[in-house]
Structure 1
Amino acid sequence: MASQGNMPFIRNLASSDRKIRTSALASLHTFLSAKHISSALGPLDVLKLWKGLFFALWMCDRAIPQQTLCAELADLIFILPREAVLPWLRAFWATMSREWTGIDVLRMEKFLLLVRRVVGAGFKWMKKNSAAAAGAQKEEEEKEKESVWDAQRVDEIVKLLGEYPFALEEATMEADRQNLEGEQDPCAPHTIPVGLKMHVLDIWVDEAGKVGLLDAEDQAAAEILQRISTLVDLLEQRSYSPAVKIRSKESLADDRLPGNKKASAAAKPEAADVNMDDDDDIQSDDGSWDGFND
């Protein structure tokens, strides 16, 4: 375990002074870039870091700095050594689970964005590194024939989703019981707030689309998507929360999911026939456009 003395910037991450916070974040970036250090961090060390990062965002004002900070925090996984990424993400979800209900309405929006960015970064991290092949066209063509997804990383991210934002209450209680009876795991999920679950249910399809998981021609992506959908389906079937059940069902009905696209395409010809003679009804009565559907 790293000592507090080896991480003096932790306290400064939560400083009310923007310059001090910015300097502390730069120090953290350098700290995590050192493989021999970041690989040796224990669960309590990473929790301390995320506690500081949580309050760094808490103290951050104005939209642009908040958006920038959320992106920077999410992208920290890309400077970590391979073996340190999963503990880092577990500590993130443990921190958000513990702090979520204490976030006031005025600060909630920036933490919603942070969760979105971390989910997106996790999906992106599932892809294999292809930078080494960027210079050779032939190698690129060969790689196109292979899966761009790293199987081990996919397993870890899917497991992480099932352990935290898509966790069943019964699984959370069992993990809590094992934690009490056996070796203490400081990142073990005790309770996952309903609001946190519902937010991830709202945004996971968006973030999946950004990294190519909705590509119907990518068989590996389709299999990953099915594994995540299975977690959401379990929530719909077995969650104790009626709100989570409803949101899970709505999430699985998203038209962007490959299975739902086919159903939507099949229904379109009928809708076209019905509305062919009613073009004037497409606009609202006052001739205005009603905007995008969410």
Structure 2
Amino acid sequence: MSEVWHDVREECERLDPEARLVTPVSGRPFGTETTFDDRVVVRFHDGGEERRLDRRQFEVLADRLDDGPIPLGELPAGVEPYAAVLSLAPEHVSDGETLSRSPDDAAAGESPHLVPPEEARTPPERVHDDALLLADLLERLDTEDPASLDTEALTDLYVLLSDVQRGADRVRSSVGEPLLDRLGPDQELHGRFGTVRRTTRERQRPKGDEAVLDALDEHGIPQEWVTGVDPDRLDVVVAVTDLTEDEVYDTDEQVYVRKTGVDEGEKFSRLQGLLDRVDELDEDAALHDDLVDLERRLDEALSTG
């Protein structure tokens, strides 16, 4: 087995099952399904297409690097997944623009074309995972009295509530568009959990100054009734003159908590812990069922013996 193929296969087998690789030019996400002695099988996530990447083609691509770096933008579409996978192997490096052999700069398993599991999730998957983390936290904390919580727990609760809200709002918007197409005027649609209705809300904004002033003149309305201070122009005046903000602005101060960072890695690690616990519970339940079945069969055997 050639060294290049050995490295490629080894790195593919090390990949987290939830990680994604992305083709350098077309940006198609794909994951490795399995490896064989002569090929790697991958599956593209934008259509479910399964494809085999042959050992010989990896070796040909690696040999081509003897002549120097390969511009990724010039690769045929069929070669893109080979380049993305090869960039994981030791001695091979992609800087996003070219693929080259550079042992001094290479780091096995690292590539700009590799998306870690926590970043590879779709928006609905992120909402699902954040909601699961939030449910676990709510179960463990006394949220009826937030003031009694320690600072770390209170911070985590606020961050997760914020993430779930923002993520759910994005997904709700994407769900609302096709739903609106199915709703006629004054129509309601019913689901298991509730009802939705087509609603129209109007928002007004002034037309251009010229159109507004002409309309006022036509009706004999003094323009002074609607003309006033332009906030944008006032900002400029304050910036270029000795006029102070206190002289022309009333300032209302609002103090609030703002989320400034999220540790997605820590969240994903905690999520994996929860999923492992669920798997253990499932295994315990299966074992319990097996024991009950065994006990039943023993009873039957003894009763007939």
TM-score relative to the length of structure 1: 0.20
Structure with more strand by fraction: 2
State the structure with more CA Rg: 2
Structure with more helix by fraction: 1
TM-score relative to the length of structure 2: 0.20
